[in-house]
Amino acid sequence: MQQPISITSIASISPLGTTPEHIWNNYKNNNHFFTKRDKNWVAELALEQKTEIDNLRHSNPKYKALDDSVLFAVFASRKAVKNAKWDASDNFGINIGSSRGATALFEHYHKTFLQNHKAETLTSPTTTLGNISSWVAHDLQTKGPEVSHSITCSTALHAMLNGIAWINSGMCNKFLVGGSEAPLTPFTIAQMQALKIYANANGHLERSRDLLKPLDCAQPIIQDFPNQALNSNKTENTMILGEGAAMTCLEAGEHPNAIAKIIGIGYATELLEHNASLSTNAICFQRSMAMALGDLKPDDVDIIVTHTPGTIKGDQAEINAIHSIFCNKTPSLTTNKWKIGHSLGASGLLNIEMAVLMLQHQQFISIPYLKAQTPKRIKNILVNAVGFGGNAVSILLSK
């Protein structure tokens, strides 16, 4: 890192809520947000949040044709910029990505094309990935650079890398970065099922024991926690898709109003063994974590917010990589995917939000079905993300 980068604001919309207070309260309990839609587990926005998105959709005639992935991004970006006290005159940059983009619209347009043998007028401009950052820039009336990209599930953290690179280059001193995903569509879920990594649709949600009691990780409770993310002892893949968006405002240097600062970044790509898997010991994660640590001692990392999507091989590979880097002094591990599932391109920034909240409140968010040592302090948190193709990113945050 050439210089620390301040996070002066973060905002999101997810099943956890939309306000910091609501999100934090939901992190502190042992409830998850999975429901069944068409017999498949999903983590969708609450009715109140869906109403807010519908209000946004109808607030401008142009917005009625936009996909939820764009509207989620606009909603979260407005809140983030407002909290950071930025305005259009700042000409800040924007980099917002999505793994899947406009899934619902694309499926709708393709269905009507098969029926009518003719594409609707707005098919192309409303389903291109670039329209996410473009519409956010339009909505915020900023004149700075705007970029959209897809690097699968590490998309949001790659957006953070890009924002930092722009700031360090001196071409921009402020950047809005994040990810947005609205993947709860039949075809998208079917793609995950085709890979045989999706949670068993036949599971039942039965409260058979006290969830407040710490549970032995050797006894996974699939019924109570359909997504057994980070549990290396599970016997089946349990990934579940979730929806949402998260945005953060980055500024050069240290600021008195910063809610956290970025003190290390790491990234790596490894050769594919399989289109959807990491190597056994996740070489890309070992490299990205080591780069993010820099000269910092591994002992100085208090918590790692893992990527661990809920797949047997993916979760174990990341855990192996962590053990390789941290040896016998592994930091406390946690994740939010057991609560809100895997939001693909948005997941990395939702992990950043979780880390920032733990730094602010000085409280570790544990996983009910796993035993984890509570850190004595919370000063430095490492956040991981990786996507199909072995493209890992690690971000080191500090108070």
**pLDDT tens digit sequence for 347-394:** 999 999 999 999 999 999 999 988 878 998 999 999 999 988 789 999
Q: Give residue 40's Cα distance to chain centre.
A: 21
Confidence (pLDDT) at 390: 84
Confidence (pLDDT) at 277: 61
**pLDDT tens digit sequence for 291-347:** 999 999 999 999 999 999 999 999 999 999 999 999 978 999 999 999 999 999 999
140: phi > 0 → left, psi -120 to 50 → alpha, else beta; which?
A: alpha
Phi and psi angles of residue 102, each rounded to the nearest 5 degrees, phi first:
-80, 70
Indicate the average pLDDT of the chain.
Answer: 90
Q: Which residues pair with 149 in a beta bridge?
A: 97
Model's pTM, two decimal places?
A: 0.92
State the average pLDDT over residues 152-156: 96
**pLDDT tens digit sequence for 208-239:** 223 323 333 333 334 478 888 888 777 889 99
Distance set, CA 92 to CA 130, 246, 336 (Å)? 17, 17, 30
**272, pLDDT greater than 80:** no
**pLDDT tens digit sequence for 52-97:** 999 999 999 999 999 999 999 999 999 999 999 999 888 899 999 9
The token pair at 397 is 């945050």
Task: In whole angstroms, give the CA distance from residue 63 to residue 57.
Answer: 5
Task: In whole angstroms, give the CA distance from residue 245 to residue 12.
Answer: 5
Q: Degrees (nearest 5) of the Cα angle 79, 265, 145?
A: 50
Please give the full DSSP string across 249-306, using - where no structure is assigned.
Answer: EEEEB--TT-SEEEEEEEEEE---SBTTB--TT-HHHHHHHHHHHTTS-GGG--EEE-
Phi and psi angles of residue 398, each rounded to the nearest 5 degrees, phi first:
-140, 165
Confidence (pLDDT) at 202: 72
Question: In the chain, what are the domains?
Answer: 5-189+238-398 (3.40.47.10)
State the average pLDDT over residues 144-168: 96
Task: In whole angstroms, give the CA distance from residue 278 to residue 290.
Answer: 17
**pLDDT tens digit sequence for 15-27:** 999 999 999 999 9
